[in-house]
Amino acid sequence: MSETVTITYGNQTIDLPIIIGTEGEKAIDISVLRKKTGLITLDPGYANTGSCLSSITYMNGESGILRYRGIPVEELAEKSIFTETAYLLINGELPTRNQLNHFSVLLNDNSLIHEDMQFFFQNFPRASHPMGILSSMVTALRSFYPELKITEEEELNLMVTRLLSKVRTLSAMSYKISRGHKVIYPRPDLTYCANFLNMMFDNPVKPHRIDETLVNALNVFWILHADHEQNCSTSTVRMVGSGRVNLYAAISAGVAALWGPLHGGANQSVIEMLERIHQSGGDVSKAIAQAKDKNHSFRLMGFGHRVYKTYDPRAVIMKKMCDNVLNKLCIHDPLLDIAKELEEAALKDDYFIEHNLYPNVDFYSGIVLRAMGIPTSMFTVMFAIGRLPGWIAQWKESLDDPNWRLSRPRQIYTGPTLRHYTPIDHR
């Protein structure tokens, strides 16, 4: 017999079923609550509300677990590559060699963008933030590459690979144009990650040398960011997609949602925080004291997480990658020195330990991206490229959901009660 929760309201009693996930998570199904009682629930920030059933990503914040389609992210970061992980998220299973080769060929074949799109880039003001440009350009893709029939598997795969490949090219192109440099086209002989680094850093007077350490670091960075359950941007993609808009529009909305400093912009905020500490003398103990002072405006970025109440499993992996990159490149950067000192101090401080304020993935990823030569303004764009497979997988899953409904949250109205219009001369 299935479990239920009984709610009593006035003289009425109703039983609400409990939904149990494959990992033992439980949720009260309140879909009939308003119909039977006239009540709705109020949950600001949706911290206690499940918006969907999903088989894509499992995370447990209390135990520090993150799995894509059941596979621990630790195994994927160690053994997989980004394109393989993207295939897993979107299609539900790891690809065979033939499937991965076909997927890679599609990515290569669709890596170029329409030449006319360069005119769009040229007309954005130079000071435009790359995320605003990226969101606009993803929407523009709909005009240059009309939406295909999403009911046809082959055409859906083509649309998916177009996005995965062209967004990467658009991102590198936006950086080159912002610097006034010659645009570098993708090469068919390079892997997905190596191609991006080459498009970013190659130039006619100094050809880019492919460094496998950095290629591997980028693979790991994008794998760790590929999906993260129903976060702000993913929920946005699902909500916008529930209106049955085209995939380009849904992804563009996800890019816009990721832009904010409390979500995708967190790794950029880490570097900006380190710069402020450096400019004020580099006193880490002072920064720690200010972070613990509730009345001080200073906030320690890159520590703690909305969901994880223990160490962020992605941070453990990214820390190893961070140490590997810094050692390989022999980088001596005052900001990176401050970061390592800040990390050591926070991990020994009782206040941070008691409040579960461990370094999160944003803390280390910002350091890695800086070490790789990625400009701070591009950090959130890098996050967006990594999150694309998750957004696409979530959009596709909601599209296939037989219980699909247009997203339409309710509210509790707190404004004025009925009042009537007053003519302007009597106000």
Q: What is the pLDDT of residues 229-250, one digit of tens each?
A: 999 999 999 999 999 998 999 9
State yes or no: pLDDT of 179 exceeds 90.
Answer: no
Residue 26 sits at φ, ψ, to 5 deg, of -125, 145
Any idea what DSSP says for residue 359? B
H helix runs in 179-209, sequence order: 192-201
Mean pLDDT of the chain: 90
State yes or no: pLDDT of 148 exceeds 70.
Answer: no
Any idea what DSSP says for residue 207? P
Neighbouring CB atoms inside 10 A of 48's CB total: 10
Which residue of the set 202, 227, 312, 362 is catalytic? 362
Where, residue-wise, is CATH 2.20.28.60 in the chain? 4-60
362 in catalytic set: yes
Quote the pLDDT of residue 1.
Answer: 59
State yes or no: pLDDT of 47 exceeds 80.
Answer: yes
211 in catalytic set: no
- C-alpha 46/C-alpha 262 separation (Å) is 16
Contacts of 50 (CB under 8 A, 6+ apart): 27, 230
When pLDDT is cut at 50, 70 and 90, the band that residue 363 belongs to is confident
Which strand (E) or helix (H) includes residue 77? helix 73-79
CATH fit for domain 71-401, picks 3.30.70.270, 3.40.80.10, 1.10.580.10, 3.30.70.3280: 1.10.580.10
Quote the pLDDT of residue 264.
Answer: 87
Which residue of the set 202, 227, 228, 305 is catalytic? 305
Which residue's entry shows tokens 């149990």? 20
- C-alpha 341/C-alpha 357 separation (Å) is 16
Closest CA to 48 of 230, 298, 261, 197: 230
Quote the pLDDT of residue 156.
Answer: 80
Sign of CA dihedral 188, 114, 170, 100: negative
Where, residue-wise, is CATH 1.10.580.10 in the chain? 71-401
Quote the pLDDT of residue 149.
Answer: 61
Asked if 255 contacts 384 with a C-beta cutoff of 8 angstroms, the reply is: yes
- C-alpha distances (whole Å) from 235 to each of 146, 222, 245, 327 are 25, 19, 15, 38
- Please write the tens of the pLDDT for every residue from 375-408: 998 999 999 999 999 999 999 999 889 988 999 9
Which residue has better confidence, 216 or 145? 216
| Stretch 138-164: mean pLDDT | 80
Asked if 163 contacts 200 with a C-beta cutoff of 8 angstroms, the reply is: no
Amino acid letter, 358? Y
Contacts of 244 (CB under 8 A, 6+ apart): none
Return the CATH number of the domain spanning residue range 4-60. 2.20.28.60
Quote the pLDDT of residue 314.
Answer: 93
